[in-house]
Structure 1
Amino acid sequence: MRHAIQLAATLLLFAAPAAHAQISSPQIKRDKKQPKENVEWLWQYGPPPADGRETQLVLDTRFRPFLAQYLTAPQTFWGSPKTGYKPLDETALDFLSVPDKVLADDNRYLSITGCVFRFNPARGLLWVDLGLPHPLIAFAAIDWIKDSRTPSEPGAEYTLWVFANHPIDPDHIPPALTHSVARWTAQPPSGSTVIQQITRAILVDPDGTPHQIQPAAIGANTFTKPQDFIKSQDDQKAQP
């Protein structure tokens, strides 16, 4: 009887790890369906009114988790090596903390803009493509190049940083994104009449790999004529 009990215990010891290995099999994990991504709640903060409701959007309890889910790339422009750099989602929140607009295009794209509290030249754009099975989210930040002129002077220079949750081919940037950036950079910061001159643009992959591109390739400073910006505004007002 004692030998039978020992044999049963030995079999259990060998069976348990095998069962555990089967449950944690990578193949089973791969076959598990990913939950559906639903960011449709963002739409309620777009037009009307004409400029949307960004203040209410930023205060929505879903907004910070949304940023944390989709903006995960490392960044090295907001902060310093000594004090540390903020996570990208917190950086985006800083650059949108003073609300500007929530604009909708083609019943598919949202452009959410704002700036840093007490430093208007540091401006942010959050662009969302809701027409894909997995939404494409891009965060763009205008960052003052500190060894250029001061932001209050004409000729000050800026870097445009662009981060996306999916890799974007630098040679095939979505036209809707470049249009949004063009419209955004055609406007001066709040309280200023000077258009910011973006002399560098860096497109960053989700893993943090940077790609320096021509600013015009992503639309920066490409609305060079007043009528270009006026037409863009008229198109926006014509949206249903």
Structure 2
Amino acid sequence: MRSTIQLAIFVLALTPMWTSAQISSPQIKRDKKQPKENLEWLWQYAPPPADGRENQLVLDARFRPFLAQYLTAPQTFWGNPKTGYKTLNETALDFLSVPDKVVADDNRYLSITGCVFRFCPARGLLWVDLGLPHPLVAFAAIDWIKDSKTPSELGAEYTLWVFANHPIDPDHIPPALTHSVARWTAQPPTGSTVIQQVTHAILVDPDGTPHQIQPATIGANTFTVKPQDDQKAQQ
């Protein structure tokens, strides 16, 4: 009888511990869905291209915090190894400091382009997929390879750097992103008539891991004019 009573007391003493363990068990926790990130404010800067407000976008008080939030990967192409490299968001701001265009595609994607102040061969493209709960934001930079010819000469070579806030599989790059890059690289820099030849392309993961890819894989220098478009241009 005494053994039975002692066992009952032991079980009762452990009951709060079991209850606490069950309550704190990660298996019964329900994952809270994270709210959709609101970047709808970007749309106001993408009316028809003729009326684009790219200058106002860069000056919007929300633009710098937006870059700082989504562009966090380390970079080593813009800056000086002795004095230090700039953060990626600062680099993007430099490459968009002279605004070019804001283009909307399919009511989902935004392409924001620009170039570096006083050196427009260094160009930037900020691409945003607003159709996802957690938007995919990619920054692409055309960087002159200094060992090649000067930017004003034919034959100058460039590296295309692409950074994204989510990992992008080099074998499954979003078609909308490659289309945007193709359209962008088909246009010469401001003040020039020479199409930049991208001979190297590097896709960088959010943690800074680089992946060398063929430029055409990301759409660089692949844009071709359709015959009907060429006829319209000649009229």
User: What residue is the counterpart of 2:14 in the other structure?
Assistant: none
Q: Does 1:69 align with 2:69?
A: yes
User: What residue is the counterpart of 1:40 in the other structure?
Assistant: 40
Asked if 2 retains the 8 angstrom alpha-carbon contact of 1:183 and 1:229, the reply is no
After superposition, the Cα gap between the structure-2 partners of 1:56 and 1:76, relative to the gap in structure 1 and judged at 3 Å, is same
Distance 1:175 1:101 in 2: 20
Distance 2:76 2:218 in 1: 20
What TM-score, normalized to structure 1? Answer: 0.81
> Mind listing any 5+ residue stretches in structure 1 that lack a counterpart?
1-24, 235-240
User: What residue is the counterpart of 1:98 in the other structure?
Assistant: 98
Distance 1:140 1:229 in 2: 30
Identity %: 87
User: What residue is the counterpart of 2:113 in the other structure?
Assistant: 113
Q: Does 1:193 align with 2:193?
A: yes
- The CA deviation at 1:50 is 2.9
- The CA deviation at 1:227 is 3.7
The two structures, once aligned, show a CA RMSD in angstroms of: 2.4
After superposition, the Cα gap between the structure-2 partners of 1:52 and 1:229, relative to the gap in structure 1 and judged at 3 Å, is farther
Give 2:202's aligned amino acid: I
- Residue deviations 1:89-143 (CA, integer Å, cap 9, x gap): 0000000000100000001000000000000100000000001111000000000
- Residue deviations 1:50-82 (CA, integer Å, cap 9, x gap): 362110000100000000000000000000210
SS in 1 for 2:147: coil
Alignment of 1:158-237 (within 5 A): 158-223=158-223, 225-227=224-226, 230=229
Alignment of 1:5-16 (within 5 A): none
- The CA deviation at 1:48 is 2.6
SS in 2 for 1:160: strand
Asked if 2 retains the 8 angstrom alpha-carbon contact of 1:166 and 1:205, the reply is yes
SS in 2 for 1:137: strand
Runs of 4+ displaced beyond 4 Å: 29-33, 228-231
Asked if 1 retains the 8 angstrom alpha-carbon contact of 2:142 and 2:160, the reply is yes
Distance 2:107 2:133 in 1: 15
User: What residue is the counterpart of 1:137 in the other structure?
Assistant: 137
- The CA deviation at 1:200 is 0.2
Give 2:118's aligned amino acid: R
SS in 2 for 1:221: coil
Distance 1:127 1:30 in 2: 34
Aligned residues: 209
Asked if 2 retains the 8 angstrom alpha-carbon contact of 1:115 and 1:121, the reply is yes
After superposition, the Cα gap between the structure-2 partners of 1:152 and 1:228, relative to the gap in structure 1 and judged at 3 Å, is farther
- Residue deviations 1:145-191 (CA, integer Å, cap 9, x gap): 00000001000000000000000000000000000000000000001
After superposition, the Cα gap between the structure-2 partners of 1:112 and 1:229, relative to the gap in structure 1 and judged at 3 Å, is farther
After superposition, the Cα gap between the structure-2 partners of 1:227 and 1:68, relative to the gap in structure 1 and judged at 3 Å, is same
Give 1:143's aligned amino acid: D
User: What residue is the counterpart of 1:12 in the other structure?
Assistant: none
